[in-house]
Amino acid sequence: MYDLIIIGGGPSGSAAGRLAGNTGLKTLLIEKEIFPRYKPCGGAFSEQAMSYIDFDIPQYIYERNIFGARVHFRGNFIEKRKDYRIATLVTRSVLDNYLLNKAKETGIEIKTGEKATSFRENYEYVELFTDKGAYKARFVILAEGAQGNLKNGIRKKDGKNEYAICIVTEVEEENRKIDQYICDAIDIFFGIANRGYGWIFPHEKYFSVGVGGLASDFTNPRKAMIDFLNLHGFTGKYKLKGHLMPAGGIERRIVSSRVVLSGDAAGFVDSFYGEGIAYAIRSGQIAVEVISRILKNGVGSLSNYESVCRSEFGENLKYSLILSRMMHSFPRIFFKVFTSCEEVLDKYLEVPASKQTYKSYIKWLLPRVPKFFLFQILKKVVSSKALYSNRRYP
């Protein structure tokens, strides 16, 4: 009987595993892939994400320091940098492998190349079944990411307006040419897909290029990606990888009596910018904090996990969704302002840098929208509840 079984060795599972090991919980982590494994991602690892981990990341993992962004919309574009770092760009196979090793060094048991297939909750424990065996634990954290199915034993499947479809590839290039294109900022293109964007992120000897948009409106992502690549002169043969990304800020059930969802499985991704690594790490840690308090002191229940997540970052995710819906409902107003007014982008950069919340950014932004448009936006909010449903949580 384990205290805890964690499914998934991504940032969320690894962060949970490391804390569980350090806390002395008898823990098993099960990962279906052999690491290092490929993970489709832009690879922006934010300062906020870094702030959650209790060890230094070696310099070789940081490919580029990012200070700002260039954003485009229908021919307009603007570029802005901060005098502090906002994120670094990493290759996910390398970062995730390092994080998993940091979990392993705490002494937890890790089985890779083994896939969890189902679980059954009993009054006192959970039975977990894999393609190689069966295990028992007092608690389970499902950190299986956006594409796993086990989470549907806890919550209903996301509707098509509750997740994005992304296509990503890596375009090899000399560093010299990458520096000429964009050196220490990310390049973002709005107007490619509803509730999403296209991106070109500069890495070490490659660009991460991708497009993502809300599943309900993104009818032909592959074509959008090929058009996007061609538009930017990327005409080689590339392996295109698809992946889902949950929209954060939507109410989802994230616990049962003995099972917790963390990271993407819980839907914890910024709906506007697509950042998920920070929330994956932190939610994995919160899950372990709550579980170890129950196991060691017999206090609390897993519903504490919901309330801590809500108070630490739930509101930020909710307002990322509001900003996303606002911007994409009135693209010609907001994206035009976003890509032509330096101050608007400059202020926004404080959000991914964790120096400002989405709520305070929206409060700052709205009075700067011309009164006529503001009236139209408010009308739409009041009449259709278009911006945020009255449902309860992330």
Ligand X SMILES: Cc1cc2nc3c(=O)[nH]c(=O)nc-3n(C[C@H](O)[C@H](O)[C@H](O)COP(=O)(O)OP(=O)(O)OC[C@H]3O[C@@H](n4cnc5c(N)ncnc54)[C@H](O)[C@@H]3O)c2cc1C
User: In this chain, which stretch among 58-66, 273-281, 304-312, 363-371 interacts with ligand X, using CB under 6 A?
Assistant: 273-281
Q: Are strands 259-261 and 134-142 parallel, antiparallel or unpaired?
A: parallel
Q: Does 144 bind ligand X (CB under 6 A)?
A: yes
Residue 52 phi/psi, 5-degree rounding, is -85, -15
**What's the closest the beta carbon of residue 382 comes to ligand X, in angstroms?**
33
Residue 54: exposure state from Cβ atoms within 10 A (0-12, 13-18, ≥19): exposed
Q: Does 245 bind ligand X (CB under 6 A)?
A: yes
Residue 157 phi/psi, 5-degree rounding, is -60, 145
User: And the tokens for 217?
Assistant: 């409106």
- CA 155 vs CA 152, 164, 251, 282: distances in Å: 5, 18, 10, 20
Q: Does 30 bind ligand X (CB under 6 A)?
A: yes
Please tell me the distance from the alpha carbon of residue 222 to that of residue 176, in angstroms, as a whole number: 29
Site track 164-183 with ligand X (rule: CB under 6 A), x = hit = --x-x---------------
**What's the closest the beta carbon of residue 184 comes to ligand X, in angstroms?**
15
Shorter beta-carbon distance to ligand X: residue 10 or 68: 10
Residues whose CB is less than 8 angstroms from the CB of residue 366 and which lie 6 or more positions away in sequence, other chains included: 374
Rounded to the nearest angstrom, the gap between the alpha carbon of residue 173 and the centroid of all alpha carbons in its chain is: 26
Q: Does 41 bind ligand X (CB under 6 A)?
A: yes
User: In this chain, which stretch among 25-33, 187-195, 334-342, 352-360 interacts with ligand X, using CB under 6 A?
Assistant: 25-33
Q: Does 198 bind ligand X (CB under 6 A)?
A: no
Site track 205-224 with ligand X (rule: CB under 6 A), x = hit = -----x--------------
Q: 128: number of CA atoms within 13 Å, CB side?
A: 28
Q: Which of 275, 292, 314, 361 binds ligand X (CB under 6 A)?
A: 275
Q: Which of 8, 196, 314, 394 binds ligand X (CB under 6 A)?
A: 8
Q: Which of 21, 42, 221, 394 binds ligand X (CB under 6 A)?
A: 42
Q: How many CB atoms lie within 10 A of CB 374?
A: 14
- Given a contact cutoff of 8 angstroms between Cβ atoms, the answer to whether 40 and 243 are in contact is yes
Q: Does 280 bind ligand X (CB under 6 A)?
A: yes
Shorter beta-carbon distance to ligand X: residue 168 or 290: 168
Residue 28's SS3 state is strand
> Which residues lie near ligand X (CB under 6 A)?
7-13, 30-33, 39-44, 115-116, 143-145, 148, 150, 166, 168, 210, 243, 245, 263-265, 269, 274-277, 280
